[in-house]
Amino acid sequence: MVNGNHDAKPVKESTNHVVVVGAGPGGLMLASNLVRYGIKATIVDDRVDKTSTGRADGLQPKTIETFKQLGLAGPLLRRGVRIYDICFWNSSADTPLRRTGREVHYPPEVVDVEEPYILLVHQGMIEDIFLKDLRMRGVEVIRSSPFLCYSQKKDGNSPVEVECTDLKTGKTRPFKTQYLVGCDGAHSKVSKVMLGPVEHNESSKSAWGVLDGVIETDFPDRWSKAVVSSETAGSILCIPRERNMTRLYIELHPAEAPISSDAATEEFVMWRAREIMKPFSLSWKTVEWFGIYKVGQRVAKRFSDDLEQVFIAGDAAHSHSPKAAQGMNVSMHDSFNLAWKLNLAVRGLAAPGLLSTYEQERKKIAEDLIDFDFGHANAISAGDPVALAENFTKNIRFISGVGAEYSENILNVLEKNSKGGLRSGSLLLPAKVTRYIDANPVDIQLDIPMLGQFRIFFFTPDVKTACAFLDKVCEEIASPRTILGRVSNAAAVSYATLSPVHTEMDEFVQPNRYTGASKVFTYSIVTTMNKEDVEIADLPRLLQDSCWTFYLDSVMKKPTCTEKWLGKLSEHEVAIVNVRPDGYVGSVGRWNAIDVGADCEAVTWLDAYYKGFLKA
């Protein structure tokens, strides 16, 4: 593969840093993050307005966490329906419909999350949250502008020339941009230009009808997620929705009674649903949306072009069945992974290889998703409660989002003889600490807002014992002798000319608390000392300037944050945890603070890690 030349200065001829095609959740997540970072993003969409009915509707625990980190979760949590359990019902020619099982959706002994439920919110509500966030920052979606094509020179330094059609005037609307990202769905035009025609592998043996509406039924588990399987009539997946609605996925091709999806009218699908649900009654007071879909499972052969100027994300890169509430979640996390990398590339801070990690990491997740979805969809279609339960249990961490893990690469460096629960390429584990400056108990994995910066955590049982070690390390990483210091200096210049728009939200978030010491790195220290035994003045200057991220591991909860993340630390031990801007652990290191040369070893270790993908 030919890597793009990201040593070049930002392209002067380009009026855009990034053009995003598609204003669904994936495209809006990308645009919102880029604009928050100060990047000039233009987003175009072929539709006249946001999604009004139908489409995706479920947020998994990790996605809820991401929205909380972005400060956007409030309206969704207030409006959404929470699903904590899943029920299984079966019938056969000889046995009437009966409940065969009930499971906690996210058992705490398996899935360690703060929000152990699926949040059902309509896709249009999610889009609206992003649209308001973008509008607050002076950005509007360019509507009624379907993507036509793009062209680029092979030098990797010239802008990508993008053409869309303005449906209002019929004229071609041109754009020049450093990067183009296609978030334009399963029939992506960006993907077709980049990769050529893509075979969708849609199977005629798995067609489903979807109905959103207010139902009347005496089915006892209507407010839980329920899988209902009839040996003769097929299967239904029942999901409660907001505004007293229920979504039903109704199988159209059971082995005993197949029907062409072309002939499946709304009335027929309702009849089929009643047959599956017998002896329970089922009728509709209102229907908000009706649709037919066929399951097509695929992963694009590439997620970027050879020059790493054009990318695809979400359904443009992978497609699967919607029955496990994964598509919208995975799409938004594709974008979340890509956004911070594009920010660094636009600012000239990304070393060659950083943008390559997008495809490395997200293609693996897409392939893992297809593997899970294949078994999950087949088990539902077969009405096999044992196979369905086994598939669900095996994949529950992945389904929740916290089990979406990345392999070793330049961003994820494995720790030798690792202790505790943190692993490179995995998400931070939830843990409680006390924020020193105001004595607030906080969730450490959520407390620092997502501003596009790396988080560097120092852990030590005793700040005073480790004082000399911390002084030396902090002095070096703040100086131009290390890549961290040089990148921080370069970023200060970049952000002075290319800065995020100040919004009302910033008055509450106070970003400078977390970016005052560096625009790229937020430094934090966690200690098990009592508050009365340590002062902010005892910290090195770099950590004093980061006083809002000074934490006491004093919340009376077992295991403590230190134990949960790192295992036991000895009296003189210092651990350093590098956390990527998307919340994944990059690397973990440990040193005996009183050993001769330990501080220099730690500086060398930090320098080597960040030299792998940053430059200045």
We report the CATH number of the domain holding residue 232 as: 3.30.9.10
Helix and strand totals (H; E) in the chain? 17, 25
> Out of 334-338, 415-419, 446-450, 583-587, which region has the weakest mean confidence (pLDDT)?
415-419
* Cis amide linkage into residue 279, ω under 30° from 0: yes
Q: Are the C-beta atoms of 352 and 24 separated by less than 8 Å?
A: no
C-alpha span between 483 and 481 (Å, rounded): 7
The yes-or-no verdict on residue 334 having pLDDT over 50 is yes
Arithmetic mean of pLDDT, 514-540:
97
Arithmetic mean of pLDDT, 354-364:
98
User: 257 with 183, same domain?
Assistant: no
Please report which confidence band the pLDDT of residue 254 belongs to, taking 50, 70 and 90 as the band edges: low
Domain contains 530: yes
Q: Are the C-beta atoms of 53 and 289 separated by less than 8 Å?
A: yes
User: 515 with 590, same domain?
Assistant: yes
Classify residue 114 by its DSSP letter: S
C-alpha span between 454 and 129 (Å, rounded): 25
For residue 306, which amino acid is it?
D
Of 383, 400, 417, which closes a domain? 400
The per-residue pLDDT for 324 is 65
Q: How many domains does the chain have?
A: 3
- H or E stretch covering 213: strand 202-217
Domain contains 87: no
The yes-or-no verdict on residue 122 having pLDDT over 60 is yes
Unique residue bearing structure tokens 């209902």: 228
Domain contains 65: yes
C-alpha span between 445 and 360 (Å, rounded): 25
According to DSSP, the β-strands at 225-230 and 282-296 are: unpaired
C-alpha span between 253 and 241 (Å, rounded): 25
Contacts of 301 (CB under 8 A, 6+ apart): 195
Please report which confidence band the pLDDT of residue 257 belongs to, taking 50, 70 and 90 as the band edges: low
User: 348 with 462, same domain?
Assistant: no
Q: Are the C-beta atoms of 441 and 76 separated by less than 8 Å?
A: no
C-alpha span between 288 and 284 (Å, rounded): 10
Please name every residue paired with 374 in a beta bridge, in sequence order, or none if there are none.
none
Q: Which long-range contacts (CB under 8 A, 24 or more apart) does 490-499 make?
A: 490/347, 490/348, 490/349, 490/616, 491/347, 491/349, 491/518, 491/519, 491/520, 491/616, 492/518, 492/519, 494/347, 494/348, 494/349, 494/519, 495/38, 495/519, 498/38, 498/39, 498/346, 498/347, 499/38
Report helix, strand or coil for 215. Answer: strand
Q: How far is CA 466 from the centre of its chain?
A: 36
User: 476 with 529, same domain?
Assistant: yes
C-alpha span between 255 and 233 (Å, rounded): 9
Is residue 171 left, alpha or beta, with left meaning phi > 0 and alpha meaning psi from -120 to 50? beta
R_g over Cα of the chain: 26
Q: How far is CA 217 from the centre of its chain?
A: 36
> Out of 216-225, 380-389, 519-528, which region has the weakest mean confidence (pLDDT)?
380-389
Q: What is the pLDDT of residues 79-92, one digit of tens each?
A: 999 999 999 999 99
Question: What number of residues does the chain have?
Answer: 616
We report the CATH number of the domain holding residue 444 as: 3.40.30.20
User: 185 with 206, same domain?
Assistant: no
CA distances from 161 to 2, 171, 180, 310 (A): 20, 16, 9, 11
User: Whole-prediction pTM value?
Assistant: 0.93
Of 241, 272, 296, which closes a domain? 296
The yes-or-no verdict on residue 260 having pLDDT over 50 is yes
Please report which confidence band the pLDDT of residue 417 belongs to, taking 50, 70 and 90 as the band edges: confident
Q: What is the pLDDT of residues 175-228, one digit of tens each?
A: 999 999 999 998 999 999 999 875 544 444 567 899 999 999 999 999 999 999
Q: What is the pLDDT of residues 45-81, one digit of tens each?
A: 999 999 887 677 799 999 999 999 999 999 999 999 9
Tally of CA atoms within 13 A in the half-sphere of 74 that contains its CB = 5
Assigned token pair, 14 = 């380009």
Q: What is the pLDDT of residues 563-589, one digit of tens each?
A: 999 999 999 999 999 999 999 999 999
C-alpha span between 129 and 28 (Å, rounded): 9
User: 144 with 63, same domain?
Assistant: yes
Of 376, 400, 424, which closes a domain? 400
Q: Are the C-beta atoms of 311 and 181 separated by less than 8 Å?
A: yes
C-alpha span between 493 and 608 (Å, rounded): 23
User: 551 with 455, same domain?
Assistant: yes
We report the CATH number of the domain holding residue 364 as: 3.50.50.60
The yes-or-no verdict on residue 262 having pLDDT over 70 is no
Domain contains 51: yes
The per-residue pLDDT for 441 is 96
C-alpha span between 355 and 454 (Å, rounded): 16
Output the average pLDDT for the chain: 91
CA distances from 322 to 241, 319, 326 (A): 15, 9, 7
Structural domain containing residue 392 = 16-69+122-198+297-400
Domain contains 274: yes
What is the DSSP track for 246-309?
EEEEEES--TTS---GGG--HHHHHHHHHHHHTTS-EEEEEEEEEEEEEEE-EE-S-SB-TTSS
Please name every residue paired with 490 in a beta bridge, in sequence order, or none if there are none.
none
What is the DSSP track for 99-112?
EEEEEESS-TTT--
User: 27 with 144, same domain?
Assistant: yes
Domain contains 47: yes
Q: Are the C-beta atoms of 560 and 553 separated by less than 8 Å?
A: yes
Q: How far is CA 103 from the centre of its chain?
A: 26
Domain contains 86: no
Domain contains 427: no
Q: Are the C-beta atoms of 308 and 355 separated by less than 8 Å?
A: yes
Three-state SS sequence of 531-581: HHHCCHHHCCHHHHCCHHHEEECCCCCCCCHHHHHHCCCCCCEEEEEEECC
User: 596 with 449, same domain?
Assistant: yes
CA distances from 470 to 165, 324, 467, 571, 572 (A): 57, 47, 5, 15, 12
User: 171 with 208, same domain?
Assistant: no
From the list 145, 140, 262, 282, the residue with the least C-alpha distance to 222 is 282
Strands (E), 297-378: 298-299, 310-312, 318-319
Assigned token pair, 95 = 């046995």
User: 190 with 276, same domain?
Assistant: no
User: 243 with 186, same domain?
Assistant: no
CA distances from 159 to 175, 348, 349, 353 (A): 9, 15, 18, 20
Assigned token pair, 428 = 């931070």
